[in-house]
Amino acid sequence: MSTNVIGRNINGLQTILLFGSILLTIIFTDTPKVVLAKLIRNRIKGHYVILINRIAGIALIFFGILLVFRTSFT
């Protein structure tokens, strides 16, 4: 990111606006996730958490293998 800022000759104010807008975007998208997580914490049972973790793990493994094959054989 900093290479992009230096390479395009962006001045100090534009740099602050760029990184500030990135930071605000992250804050505004993460805050609702935290609020929703607190709301559903007591409603989700333990076995559902394990099931969701297993599904997420399988999905990560699948997409990781897919990325390896796409980059290796392309």
d(CA 38, CA 2): 35
Domain tally for the chain?
A: 2
Domain of 51, in residue numbers: 44-74
Here the tokens at position 42 are 């007591």
- pLDDT at residue 70 in the model: 92
Q: Is the pLDDT of residue 69 over 70?
A: yes
d(CA 63, CA 68): 9
pLDDT tens figures, 19-67: 999 999 999 999 999 999 999 888 888 899 899 999 999 999 999 999 9
Say whether pTM exceeds 0.95. Answer: no
Same domain, 1 and 33: yes
d(CA 10, CA 69): 38
Same domain, 31 and 49: no
Same domain, 32 and 48: no
Contact, 5 vs 15, CB < 8 A?
A: yes
